[in-house]
Chain A
Amino acid sequence: MRVVKGRGFSRTVFFLTMGFLFLPLVVLIVYSFNSAKSMSWGGFSLVWYERLFLKERNVWKAFENSLIIAVSSAAVATCLGTLGAIGVNWYKFRFKKYVQAVAFLPLIMPEIIIGVSLLIFFAGIQMKLGLLTIFIAHTSFNLPFVFLMVLARLDEFDYSIIEASRDLGATERQTLFKVILPVSVPGIVSGFLTAVTLSLEDFVITFFVSGPGSTTLPLYVYSMIRFGVSPVINSLSVVLIAGTVLITLLARNFLKYIAQK
């Protein structure tokens, strides 16, 4: 093995970074197996998991809401964002540059402003706050992510493959389905997964546009904390972390598989 000078330093930085990133998670995971309710260690136990899975009905109701919204808003945002990206990439029109710049706006705008403006909007059109408004809100903030990810993927390829397709006899429609969409699949998949994640974890915007009976998981966790931190939150977090890691790994392998194909 090659020995690089100053390795001690870079190693230290590496471990510090990893510690900084993961120590809180490790603490969380350890305490989810704590039998005591307080921060002192009372021995290993699965009592909080039992409580989470058997007793906390509301957690699961909130989780269900979150999932429904995440999947549906991500799906709609993916369709719209993909079409938008293809349109911007494919057609040359006058305000193309501005469209691309405007698409970035929601990414840098503070969430609280988006939340407030959506709330005002919904109040303005007198829409009852609930799952539907959350769905609309999530779709709107997910859209630019998918749009930009698909656009980035399309930018990797020379426009000439589209011309080649037309040249070889494909109509515009055939070009869309046989060249552009297949080529964008990795961008579409990562866009969709990003959208699902963002939607699942969103608190601020959801907080403004949710109504009675439409509590999502982050909102529910927040309300639980207001009555004191229950260790159930620890076990819930561990379950969520495990789920996220699993999905990420699957997605990575899927993308690799596509890239090789």
Chain B
Amino acid sequence: MLHFSPPFAIIPPVPSRPATIGGKRNELKGSDVSIEGVSKSFGTFTALRDVSMVIRKGEFYSLLGPSGCGKTTLLRIIAGFDDPDGGEVSLDGTSVLNLPPNERHVNTVFQNYALFPHLTVFENVAFPLRLKKTPNATVRSRVGDYLELVQLSSHAEKMPAQLSGGQKQRVAVARALINEPSVLLLDEPLSALDAKLRQHMLIELDAIHDKIGITFIYVTHDQQEALSVSDRIAVMNAGQVLQIGTPHEIYESPATGFVAAFIGETNMFEGTVESVEGTMVAVDVTGLGRILVTEDEPPAPGSKASVVVRPEKIRIDTERPAPAKRTDINFLEGSVDEPIYSGSSTKYYVRHQSGTMLKVIKQHANWSDEGPEIEWKDKVYLSWSADDAYLLGAS
């Protein structure tokens, strides 16, 4: 078990990750980070376009977006390695733009770890303390604590070149935390690791975040990573922020088609709004016919809209499901074009008679599930609830 006296004594052990939003956690450390209208160009290329976000004290905040969308650029501006062309970056309400990197209470875990090759693991972690001429005894106990936090106590005397990727990453985390920054920036810290280790390190990072409670800004292009640990996510594309929200909001009600497609798989059908009854919207989708969607703020009839439904929300059967008493279920028929087995689930590409393809993901059955295997060319019945789909405005 980990036990910490000096740095973490104030924070009671947290059994599991509490919701930090709304400040349920008692002892929030770290800083609020506010980014207002930041833009940055390289020559004629615009890497960031009027980016604004407010990151709250103690939040695990992810910047998610495809490669080249400007995540690293934004992180470097927060850390102080680059200056924005315009806009403001402030920590707890105070602008930091005029401070050099060494005077910002922000530390970074670099994408390639950037460990000092000439120093041992111990001295790498001790580096910030040595700069401040901390007495040796203090250095030993502090570095010891942080090496224990990242479970590297037994590797203290190794050189970085002798470590595995996961170990290097942990040294980088310990080194970035030892200064007790109020914000920790992590630039795709797991991208160099294999899938299994990545999962493991992600859980450890999350645990560390819980333990020390400072603000984490986590850059990734892996939506699974972002969804599983973040308090909130900012989805970016081409230098712009498209949506900011909790993982649930981002996944269940994406603001744009791009967000919907980037966060997990989707089926998206374009159509025209036919009629609106309360929150129930009927959309005429070319080929598929009338599709029902519930929408809190329904669009006007006649307007263009896209119906979006996640593949795992669609039920797939080999026999026509019993006629439902509910009126909010959409039914479609089709044939399986291609089943793709992926361990715990299977993804089916189902061709509707109109030629439209639908993606359906079915979790593999346990004993309570019955029914025959669904195979290639099988005739299948698809159904989903109007509640599980949503509408995106024409774009």
A182 touches B118 (CB 8 A): yes
Q: List 8 A-B contacts (CB under 8 A).
A: A160-B111, A161-B117, A164-B114, A166-B81, A167-B81, A168-B128, A169-B128, A183-B117
Q: Using known A-B contacts A158-B112, A160-B110, determine if residue A168 contacts B118 with beta carbons closer than 8 Å.
A: no
B245 at the interface (CB under 8 A from A): no
B79 at the interface (CB under 8 A from A): yes
B102 touches A160 (CB 8 A): no
Q: When the two chains form the complex, which single residue of A161, A185, A261 contacts B116, counting CB atoms closer than 8 Å?
A: A161
A160 touches B114 (CB 8 A): yes
Q: When the two chains form the complex, which single residue of B101, B118, B159, B179 contacts A166, counting CB atoms closer than 8 Å?
A: B101
Query: How many Å from the CB of B313 to the closest CB on chain A?
Result: 43
Q: Using known A-B contacts A163-B81, A163-B101, A164-B108, determine if residue A169 contacts B131 with beta carbons closer than 8 Å.
A: yes
B175 touches A168 (CB 8 A): yes
A68 at the interface (CB under 8 A from B): no
A179 at the interface (CB under 8 A from B): yes
B90-107: which have CB < 8 Å to A?
100-102, 106-107
B130 CB contacts on chain A under 8 angstroms: 178
For B103, the closest partner residue in chain A by CB is A169
Q: Which 6 A-B pairs have the closest CB atoms?
A: A164-B114, A160-B114, A166-B101, A168-B128, A182-B118, A169-B102
A222 at the interface (CB under 8 A from B): no
B116 touches A167 (CB 8 A): no
What interface size band does chain B fall in? 20 to 34
B132 at the interface (CB under 8 A from A): yes
A136 at the interface (CB under 8 A from B): no
B175 CB contacts on chain A under 8 angstroms: 164, 168
Query: How many Å from the CB of B235 to the closest CB on chain A?
Result: 26
Q: Using known A-B contacts A182-B118, A183-B118, A261-B118, determine if residue A168 contacts B127 with beta carbons closer than 8 Å.
A: yes
What interface size band does chain A fall in? 20 to 34
A168 touches B117 (CB 8 A): no
A167 CB contacts on chain B under 8 angstroms: 79-81, 101-102, 106-108, 176
Given pairs A166-B101, A174-B131, 14 additional interface contacts (CB within 8 A): A158-B114, A163-B79, A163-B101, A164-B116, A166-B80, A167-B79, A168-B107, A168-B128, A168-B176, A169-B131, A178-B130, A183-B116, A183-B117, A183-B118
A178 CB contacts on chain B under 8 angstroms: 127, 130-131
Query: How many Å from the CB of A183 to the closest CB on chain B?
Result: 5
A137-179: which have CB < 8 Å to B?
157-158, 160-161, 163-171, 174, 178-179
B107 CB contacts on chain A under 8 angstroms: 167-168
A165 CB contacts on chain B under 8 angstroms: 116, 127
Q: When the two chains form the complex, which single residue of A160, A169, A183, A185 contacts B112, counting CB atoms closer than 8 Å?
A: A160
For A261, the closest partner residue in chain B by CB is B118
B131 CB contacts on chain A under 8 angstroms: 168-170, 174, 178
A170 CB contacts on chain B under 8 angstroms: 102, 127, 131
A163 CB contacts on chain B under 8 angstroms: 79, 81, 101, 108, 110, 114
For A166, the closest partner residue in chain B by CB is B101
Q: A-contacting residues of B (Cβ < 8 Å)?
A: 79-81, 100-102, 106-108, 110-112, 114-118, 127-128, 130-132, 159, 175-176, 179
For A185, the closest partner residue in chain B by CB is B118
Query: How many Å from the CB of B367 to the closest CB on chain A?
Result: 52
For B100, the closest partner residue in chain A by CB is A166
B110 CB contacts on chain A under 8 angstroms: 160, 163-164
Q: Using known A-B contacts A167-B108, A168-B179, A169-B179, determine if residue A161 contacts B101 with beta carbons closer than 8 Å.
A: no
B102 CB contacts on chain A under 8 angstroms: 166-171
B127 touches A157 (CB 8 A): no
State in angstroms the CA–CA spacing of A260 and B162 once bound together. 10
Query: How many Å from the CB of A171 to the closest CB on chain B?
Result: 6
Query: How many Å from the CB of B277 to the closest CB on chain A?
Result: 57
Centre residue among A167, A174, A185 by max chain B CB count within 10 A: A167
Q: When the two chains form the complex, which single residue of A164, A169, A179, A185 contacts B132, counting CB atoms closer than 8 Å?
A: A169
For B127, the closest partner residue in chain A by CB is A168
Q: When the two chains form the complex, which single residue of B80, B81, B117, B132 contacts A157, counting CB atoms closer than 8 Å?
A: B117
A179 CB contacts on chain B under 8 angstroms: 116
Interface string of A162-205 (1 = CB under 8 A from B): 01111111110010001100110100000000000000000000
State in angstroms the CA–CA spacing of A215 and B81 once bound together. 53
B159 CB contacts on chain A under 8 angstroms: 260-261
Centre residue among B107, B117, B176 by max chain A CB count within 10 A: B117
B81 CB contacts on chain A under 8 angstroms: 163, 166-167
A174 CB contacts on chain B under 8 angstroms: 131
A207-261: which have CB < 8 Å to B?
260-261
Centre residue among B81, B102, B128 by max chain A CB count within 10 A: B102
B112 CB contacts on chain A under 8 angstroms: 158, 160
B115 CB contacts on chain A under 8 angstroms: 161, 164
Query: How many Å from the CB of A89 to the closest CB on chain B?
Result: 15
For B130, the closest partner residue in chain A by CB is A178
State in angstroms the CA–CA spacing of A158 and B115 once bound together. 10
B116 CB contacts on chain A under 8 angstroms: 161, 164-165, 179, 183
Query: How many Å from the CB of A90 to the closest CB on chain B?
Result: 13
A260 CB contacts on chain B under 8 angstroms: 159
State in angstroms the CA–CA spacing of A183 and B159 once bound together. 13
A168 CB contacts on chain B under 8 angstroms: 102, 107, 127-128, 131, 175-176, 179
A182 CB contacts on chain B under 8 angstroms: 118
Query: How many Å from the CB of A92 to the closest CB on chain B?
Result: 12
A160 CB contacts on chain B under 8 angstroms: 110-112, 114
State in angstroms the CA–CA spacing of A168 and B180 once bound together. 11
State in angstroms the CA–CA spacing of A164 and B111 once bound together. 11
State in angstroms the CA–CA spacing of A184 and B111 once bound together. 23
A158 CB contacts on chain B under 8 angstroms: 112, 114
State in angstroms the CA–CA spacing of A166 and B130 once bound together. 14
